[in-house]
Structure 1
Amino acid sequence: MSTSTIDRLESSRRAARASAAERSISKAEGWRRRGPLLPALIFTVIVTQLPFLVTIWYSLRGQNLLRPGEDIFVGLSNYIDIAQDSTFRQTALNSVVITLGCVLVAMVLGIVLALLLDRPFFGRGVARTMLITPFLVMPVATSVLWSVALLNPTYGLFNWVLGVFGIEAVDWTSTYPIIAILMALVWQWTPFMMLLVLAGLQAQAKDVLEAASVDGAGPWRVFRSITLPHLRRYIELGVLLGVIYVVNTFDQIYLMTAGGPGTASANLPFYIYQRAFLGFDIGQAAAMGVVVVIATIIVASAALRLIFRSFEVKE
């Protein structure tokens, strides 16, 4: 073997040892950075994943607190029962209607209000503060405000306004329960959507808008071709967060309509509450909870994929 060949082999060995040492240092550096986060990660797993595993275990058992002696393993029987439960399908449809109705209407109103607040005018700070206030009100207070002060059939503000025009009073929470709930939810969530869209508007490059105006583009053309594509990621993020939170709505339904009449305005969280704490059927309630969590994860994962894809697109 020639001297040059030996030198090349020795050089490759040294390069391999150096590369291994760099990888070892890189791993050690990575663990040094991630180390302080491990307690938080462990805590998160304990308080989120362990209860979910316990819920799955309960969902596989036929446990009913009224019949404590019948706590047996039933496998997927609870899931089959809820698939055949017409009330579960109705409350699932109600959840979709309430969630999409609230998020879409709140987003449209939020975009309109954000466009108005993005323009300078006297008292803009006061107007912005007042428009944000509904999002800061507790859901329980929101429910009482809407059911008692605004939608009450006897002395509610809405019926007083209808009476001025000679229209007969309406019992909103009994006649139109889902619409009544949507009113309260949209009032509460519109400020959140407005803030997200307003942040996107203020992050938009003003020179691009000025250049479009100089080129003769009108306000609607500028909004449709420049502003709206820029706001896409903010709108998608608002819709995603809104869906995740609104699908778990409980306070407004419990306090405004109690899920009624019958189960006409009940959503999945309220129906799960009824099965667990009024029907004492722990097994079926746990199975419903597992189904809701899995469905939420699927929707959130699909939405997050769309959001990440929009971030990869260059403006």
Structure 2
Amino acid sequence: MEISSKGLFTQLSQFWTLLDDMAESDPERYKNFIQQEMREGKQFYAGPEPHLCLRTRILKPEEKMLFINLCQWKSIPAPKSATHPVPLSVGRPEDISEKSDTYTVVDVAYNPDILQAAEKDQLKKDQLIKMAMKCIEEKLQFTLSPSYYITKFRIKGSTQRMKRNLMGIQADCRDVREKMTKEHTLGQIKSSTEISPAHLPPLLLPKDQVAGKTGCLIEEISSTETQVEMRMPAYALNIVKDQNKKPLTIELQVELPGINSVSLCDLSVSEDDLLIEVSEKYRLHLNLPESVNTEMTTAKLIKEKSTLIVTMPLV
């Protein structure tokens, strides 16, 4: 143990003596202090909550769909100032099978204040997302597609799974965190004439999380990061019907000037949406008007016209 039993007993005795003195000399201050500590303790140990979900792709070591759940969590401290690095926590990757699809989910947590502020500034929001993707690449040894889009849903997978994942990282260091909190509270009572909200201790990681590269866990957002601008191509979306006017398929034609190889096209289709990314030049995300059969979907590129045709049978 870092602190002997005698030393710990001495600190606890001092702590309770100070509380007793405060309760006797200033009951109102004592009451406010206890209520404040209970509120902060409740927030501190509350689990993460979903904020938004991103979809991108893992390119290496194995190409696969990736969903990133950006979560807000009070246990993640906010940066001390605008010039300090922004702390975040990256969960363990989990492979999930759903119907005929298999994809990977990674949970990333920020302090709620950081995410709320980014909602008002699209540049900051994009920078937070890029930083999360960079951290995932460094920590998990993935190579990700530089492109992403924000899904209509806030979380992929269950909230319970996400909380188990992120809170499991924190569980190994709970004893250290509680000790730091007690020491901070004791020092606060000794040195303060007025009780002010305590700053949360920084998120600590177990040894197996910091053995390798740790730079991605606390990084500073760079305002000079260059962004690749991807244009939305011209397209036509048609629903093909039979003689009885029953919808059969959705046909999408996308004009891609300068593209003459299907290998440059990255196509992702789900039951209700579609994403096309082409060689960091074009990006098209569409919500489909009808549910489609992803297994029967086909795509072909007419080189002479630089036109991609995607045919999606309806479910």
TM-score with structure 2 setting the length: 0.27
TM-score normalised per structure 1: 0.27
Q: Which has the higher contact order (CA 8 A, sep 6+)?
A: 1
Higher strand share: 2
